[in-house]
Amino acid sequence: MRSLTFKLLLAFIAVSLTVALLGAAMIHYTTQREFAELALNNAQRTFINRALTYYQLNGSWQGFNRAFFQQLAPQQQLQNPPPNQPQQPSLPPDPQNPAYIFMLADADGKIVVQVKPYRTGETLPADVLAEGTPIYLEGQLIGTVITSGNAPSLAPREQQYLESANLALFYASLGALAVAIFMSLLLTNSLTRPLRELTQAMRITARGEFGHQAVVRSKDEIGQLAQDFNQMSAELARLNEQRKQMTADIAHDLRSPLTVISGYVESMHDGVLKPTPERLKAIQDEVRHLERLVEDLRTLSLADAGELSLNLAPVAPDGLLEQVYAAYHHAAERVGMALTIQSESELPHIQVDPDRMMQVLGNLVGNAIRHTPRGGMVSVQSAVHHPSSIIFTVADTGPGIPVKDLPRIFDRFYRGDDSRQSSRESGLGLAIAKSIVEAHGGRISVESKIGEGTTFGIVLPVLSA
């Protein structure tokens, strides 16, 4: 299998070679064409000057045909003399020779110097005369020169110059190709090096070594890819640590009640303790704690798999608040704090699972009651958040949550302070609340200030008309 480096290098060389060949061919063609046009223009200018001089001396075109060719033929013989032969006086050349490319007509359009297929004495059509170059003497038209279209051959010096230019162009193309290959090597290496490093980092991550970071060498798409990989790798490392911590927390939360249950059962089995109602109740409490933990884990697993069942129904926000108040105001009174509810009038209904939303609000209110000192207050409110959503807020006047704990408050098994670490809370309540809210298409957030309290906000979409 060919490497990406080889493919890129081959592509760059192919492009460079194609551009060099096309450029050389275009320059060669343009140079040849320009030289041909230059030679044609020079020949035409020479022809017109000779014709104009003859007319000025003779006052007419009479005899110009023979005189012109008599003058031109010796020049050609001098340019291309026959080898080993003495120069002979020339006769009028054949006007059909392709070396003679100009045709001359007088002021009336009659041919003075012929070029095939026309003959001397014929009158040229108007459209042919229109394409020619008129000759004026003292403002009066005396004739017209028409080019047959065959360019004259180049002089030896001109031909030599073209050959030198073509040779220089060839060497320049070779030099440009060599530079292009060198630059292609540099560019290919600059493109493939970060990709090789990123591939190596991916292989390290695939071996389970999460958190490995690739070197970001640029700010282009490849650099952005490396940054995205680094972010993914860091997130994988965080999730892996969270998974390990969650496994340890689950083991701890399962071990504690199992140890209590096992101790009671073994002691009763050995006759050390009698199965009194109090001891059986303690065992039952631990069993219920295990059941709650297992149910919480099941709820989270269903939410992760997108299989959390919701029995949606139109619900009035103030109705949910009244259920929360009925369920928790006695618990608040027992610990000496006030629980209040407040709802804006005529709030639109929301499409939710009432039991699940009661689970979310109950978790937030229960946490607030547990962590708010005696004499404090917990308030639950509902209000319009946006024309298409409403917001529930659960606020307390407790000690607040430290800033360092806020980003992880919804993580599973996360307990921010020592009091929560020693309590029988599983650390899954807020994670479950977040999963349920998001399953309803909403979002949950938290704000807190030390010494002032904590406020949780739940935004839910309203029921569509």
User: What is the pLDDT, as a whole number, of residue 417?
Assistant: 54
As a whole number of angstroms, the distance between CA 230 and CA 194 comes to: 13
pLDDT at residue 445, rounded to an integer: 94
Identify the pLDDT of residue 176: 80
pLDDT for 185? 81
% helix, strand, coil for the chain, step of 5: 55, 15, 30
Query: Rounded CA gap, 10 and 181, in Å?
Result: 9
The dihedral region occupied by 183, where left means phi > 0, alpha psi between -120 and 50, and beta the remainder, is: alpha
pLDDT score at 350 = 92
Which pLDDT score is estimated for 426?
A: 62
Tokens found for residue 20: 């060099």
Predicted pLDDT of residue 71? 59
**pTM for the full predicted model:** 0.52
* H or E element, residue 379: strand 377-386
Q: Give the torsion sign (CA, 75, 79, 80, 83).
A: positive
Non-local (6+) Cβ contacts of 34 within 8 A are: none
Burial of 208-229, coded b for 16+ CB within 10 Å and e otherwise, reads eebebebebeeeeebeeebeeb
Does residue 395 come out as left (phi exceeding 0), alpha (psi in the -120 to 50 range) or beta?
Answer: beta
Sign of the CA dihedral with 232 first, then 234, 237, and 238 last: negative
CA dist 217 and 233 (Å) reads 17
Alpha carbon distance 440, 436 (integer Å) = 7
Q: Looking at residue 459, what is its pLDDT?
A: 95
The DSSP code for 337 is -
The residues that bridge with 102 in the sheet, in sequence order, are: 147
Residues sharing a CB contact under 8 Å with residue 286, sequence separation 6 or more, in sequence order:
257, 258, 260, 261
Rounded to an integer, what distance in angstroms lies between the CA atom of residue 98 and that of residue 152?
9
Distance CA 327, CA 87 (A): 132
Per-residue pLDDT of the chain (465 residues), as tens digits, is 467 777 777 888 888 788 878 888 888 888 888 878 887 888 888 888 888 999 998 988 888 877 776 655 544 444 444 444 444 333 334 443 434 688 899 998 898 888 778 888 889 888 888 989 999 988 899 999 988 766 666 667 777 877 888 888 888 888 888 887 888 888 887 778 888 888 888 888 888 888 888 888 878 888 888 889 899 988 888 888 877 877 777 777 788 788 888 988 998 888 888 888 888 888 888 898 888 888 888 887 888 777 788 889 999 999 999 999 999 999 999 999 999 999 998 899 999 999 999 999 999 999 999 889 999 999 999 999 888 899 999 999 999 999 888 888 888 777 665 444 444 566 788 888 999 999 999 999 999 999 999 999 999 999 875
Q: What is the reported pLDDT for 73?
A: 52
**CA–CA separation, 257 and 268 (whole Å):** 17
Please tell me the distance from the alpha carbon of residue 167 to that of residue 386, in angstroms, as a whole number. Answer: 77
pLDDT, position 421:
46
Domains and CATH numbers, the chain: 4-80+89-156 (no CATH), 221-304 (1.10.287.130), 313-461 (3.30.565.10)
Alpha-carbon gap, residue 274 to 203, rounded angstroms = 61
Q: How far, in Å, CA of 155 to CA of 145, rounded?
A: 23
Q: How far apart are the first and last CA of the chain?
A: 60
